[in-house]
Amino acid sequence: MTAPRAITLVNLWMTDPGQRYLPLGLLWLRASLEAAGFGVEIRDMQFLDETAREDPQQLAEALDDSHDVLGFSLMSNALPLIVDAVRILRERRPERRIILGGPGPTTVARPLLEAFDWLDLVVRGEGEHTIVELMRVLGDRAAVRNVHGVSGRDSEGTFHTRDRALIIDQDSLPVPRVDDVDLSVYSVYTTVTARGCPYKCRFCEIPSYESRRVRTRSVDAVVDELTAVWRERGVRSVAFQDDIFLLSKPRVEAILDKLHKRGVPIEWGGFARAGRVNSEWLARLSERGMRSVAFGVEAGSDRLLSRIAKGLTVKKAMAGIDAAIPHMHTRCFFLWGFADETLEDFYGTVQAAFHAQILGAYPEVGHVVPLGGSPLFLNWGRQPLEFHADYPFARVIVPPKSTRLKEMVTQHPRVFSAHLAFPTPDREAKWTVATQAWPSDQSPLAPA
Amino acid sequence: MLDTSHAAARAALGIYAHSLGPEFDRCAMDYAAGRVLQLSGQLDAALDTWLKALSHPGARGWPVLMNAVYEVALDLNRASQARDVMDQHSPALPELHLWSGLLSRQLGEVDRALMSLQAAQATTDGDLQFTAATERIRILVAHGRTSEALIVCDDALAQAIDSPLLLRTTRAGLLNRLDRASEALVELDAILQHIPTLAPAWLNRGSALLRLGHPDAHESFQKAIQLDPSLSSVAAQLVEALS
């Protein structure tokens, strides 16, 4: 195969019903690929209708006319669907090269390639440098084996190259362009100002994908981007998608100061740690455009919070929520279904969610899933994981509908762990309460 | 299993309260505690907890708490007790008059219900005030006291209550019932000029026209059903009753 000159990048971020987010990961990849001289077409599958998005055959057909190199960016939730869609795509055009990337395939690259012989390339971790190098050598089997951050299969079998070094200088990356993106079709303008999360929450896989080392874009780079979209594209509100945007007070203040000086009065929201905010700061942020905050609380029991290494107490969590409510739209996320979760822990979580609700917050309660790169899963050596077809509380994990996908999931628990559940004590009792307390996984609890 | 669940729920409440300490709003915590007890099947304990919550100085009269008390009290046949507790705390928490009135209505104590709802209408605002007024009207109509209902409606409109167009639609319905369909029609046409998609106004307009023997009544009913299909049976009943 001669080196390709163009690639179709496919976004498969399956999000909340009705919500559409910019395919940020692909826009960053495109910027690097274009800077290296490659042509890039982005297909955002969020806009396929729901039936097509959940049907591998229809998805494959929708991509029939793509370039000879196809790149999928996905999270764990879309993995069974895409693995099967790739099988169909390969059957229809065997010469096509298909690259999987994003958090979903990264954390399970080894078992994924072992289990499915029609998959041939996975880009692990941050993809900007890897995809460019890969595109340059895609026709050269030996050279592909020298690209860091790649897992793959060739005529000699599967291989896994060294992890790619983290991109420390985030400003060294070409900045994504959105000049050809119809921003009006997305729920909100999203951006990322930093990668990585310093915390050690055991249910989370972000550190295994982005590392615990937080790497920030410069204040100027962030402000330049927001100024440009504010002036040229009429963007007035922004959702910061950093794992924790309110991580460094001086940095947040510096970004806001600079936006103010530039005359860019955006409204914005982002994630925060409930234990790191207080009413005074949130009031000030509210005056400077902050309209929403989201906290990961996870549990209403100090014992369980300690077991999952959340680094938070119930008291701090509720104090953070209480501090935010008067100033902004406050979301808080809870999880149930941990393997170590007693019935007492579970009821604590129920109480915390309702407590937050009546105070005026918007709690969202989901079922914990064994994410492939999470310490909870990586250290799981006990009973088999469980498959629950009527998985009602894992908001963004869509249960596979077809028998084929269900079989794939149950036969390959190491690959599709995110579609399974940890055994949890008293599951039936918890399930009964949860279905009464939160009757629909589609809509978050309404505020009091 | 049930005993285990009950015990776990109760243990969790103690642990949660201990984790938070004394500085948190007890009323909010008690609401949430009641939900845990309710979900674990301990309804009497849930109601006791919520009734206690009403006495906290920090109680803000959250509708969700009042609704919870109302529904569970009725389920447990403890409406009278719940109503008395609400009345006890209503001087500090005027919105309790509303739920007290609703419970009295369920208990069949019409005069007491009307008195509580009147107090609610006088001491609350927004949705609660509107609900109090419309509930008073509903009770009076149900007991054949339509002229009094019209007075309540006029008083409420004079109070500059929220949702005046809805209330005026109700007023037109009362005028229909009082055989004052011509006045109702004038009122409804004015309302529909403001909100042409207000289905109940079309329904009442159909009713007024039918009473006046006007051939266009059917079109108004059709319009009401088109805007809100759930009105079809009411429209059919009206046509049958008035034809």
ipTM of the complex, rounded to two decimals = 0.84
CA distance B98 to chain A (A): 18
Residue in chain B nearest A346 by alpha carbon: B12
A166: in domain: no
| B25 reaches A (C-beta below 8 A) | yes
Per the structure, the complete domain to which residue B36 belongs is given by 23-120
Whether residues A253 and A402 fall in one domain: yes
Interface test with A, best of B18, B20, B50, B71 (most A CBs within 10 A): B20
pTM flag (> 0.90): no
Assign residue A67 the CATH number of its domain. Answer: 3.40.50.280
* Record: contact A354-B63, CB cut-off 8 A: no
A292 with A401, same domain? Answer: yes
Nearest beta carbon to residue A358 from set B1, B31, B40: B31
Query: Which chain B positions have a beta carbon within 8 Å of A433's beta carbon?
Result: 5, 39-40
Q: Report the number of secondary-structure helices (H) and strands (E) in chain A.
A: 18, 15
Residues 6 or more apart whose CB falls under 8 angstroms from that of A91 comprise: none
pLDDT at B60: 67
Interface residues from chain A to B (CB-CB < 8 Å): 300-303, 313-315, 318, 322, 342-348, 350-355, 357-359, 426, 428-429, 433, 436-437, 448
Contact A278, A315 (CB under 8 A): no
* Residue B8 belongs to a domain: no
Listed residues B68, B86, B120: the one ending a domain: B120
CB-nearest to B24 from A318, A348, A436 is A318
A350 and B35: CB-CB below 8 Å? Answer: yes
Same domain, yes or no, for A197 and A243?
Answer: yes
Last residue of a domain, one of A105, A131, A153: A153
With bands split at pLDDT 50, 70 and 90, how would you rate the model's confidence at A443? very low
Q: pLDDT digits over B149-158, tens only?
A: 999 999 999 9
What does the pLDDT average to over B97-116?
Answer: 96
Q: Is the pLDDT of residue A444 over 50?
A: no
Pairing, β A121-123 against β A97-101: parallel
| Contact (CB<8Å) B24/A348 | no
A405, A298: one domain? yes
Q: Hunting for tokens 């941050």 — which residue is that? A: A126
Same domain, A243 and A138: no
Instruction: Give the pLDDT confidence of A404-429 residue by residue, as tens digits.
Output: 888 999 999 999 999 999 999 999 89
Q: What is the CATH number of the domain that holds A206?
A: 3.80.30.20
Number of structural domains found in chain A: 2
Which amino acid, one-letter code, is at A44? D
Residues of A with CB below 8 A from B9's CB?
343, 347
**Is residue A129 located within the same domain as residue A195?**
no
Chains A & B: contacts with CB separation below 8 Å:
94
- Name the residue range of residue A405's domain: 191-437
Q: Residue B55: inside a domain, yes or no? A: yes
Radius of gyration of chain A (CA): 22
User: Amino acid letter at A226?
Assistant: L
Strands (E), B33-189: none
Q: Which residues from A are below 8 Å from B35, CB to CB?
A: 350-351, 354, 437
pLDDT at site A2? 65
DSSP B58: T
Q: Do A86 and A198 sit in the same domain of this protein?
A: no
Contact A120, A155 (CB under 8 A): no
Say yes or no: A103 and A201 in one domain: no
Cα gap B226→B202, rounded to integer Å: 10
Report the pLDDT value the prediction gives residue A441, as an integer from 0 to 100: 45
Band (A446; pLDDT cuts 50, 70, 90): very low
Q: What's the Cα-to-Cα distance from A220 to each of A32, A171, A224, A331, rounded to whole Å?
A: 20, 10, 6, 29
Which residues make beta-bridge pairs with A122? A100, A151
**Boundary residue ending a domain (B99, B120, B141):** B120
pLDDT value of position A445: 36
- What is the rounded distance in angstroms from the CA atom of residue A25 to the CA atom of residue A27? 6
Question: Confidence class of residue A50 from pLDDT cuts 50, 70 and 90?
Answer: confident
Cβ neighbours of residue A351 closer than 8 Å, sequence gap 6 or more: A300, B12, B13, B16, B29, B32, B33, B35, B36
Name the domain count of chain B: 2
Contacts of A354 in chain B (CB under 8 A): 31-32, 35-36
Q: Are residues A207 and A143 in the same domain?
A: no
End-to-end alpha carbon distance in chain A: 61
Whether residue B90 lies inside any domain: the answer is: yes
What is the per-residue pLDDT across A222-272, written as a single tens digit (0 to 9) for each? 999 999 999 999 999 999 999 999 999 999 999 999 999 999 999 999 999
Min Cα distance B233 → chain A (Å) is 29
CATH number of the domain encompassing residue B92: 1.25.40.10
Contacts of B15 in chain A (CB under 8 A): 301-303, 344, 348
Q: Is residue B174 part of a domain?
A: no
CATH of the domain at B217: 1.25.40
Residue A163 falls inside a structural domain: no
Q: Which of B75, B93, B120 is the last residue of a domain?
A: B120
- One domain for residues A215 and A134: no
In degrees and rounded to multiples of 5, residue A40 shows phi and psi of -135, 130
- For residue A421, being part of any structural domain is answered with yes
Q: Is the pLDDT assigned to residue A398 strictly greater than 80?
A: no
Same domain for A225 and A98: no
Q: Which residue of A has its CA nearest to B66?
A: A448
A176 is a domain residue: no
Chain B hits for A352, Cβ within 8 Å: 16, 32
The answer to whether position A164 is within a domain reads no
In a domain, B54, yes or no: yes
Residue A142 shares a structural domain with residue A195: no
In a domain, B130, yes or no: no
Report the amino acid identity of residue A419: H
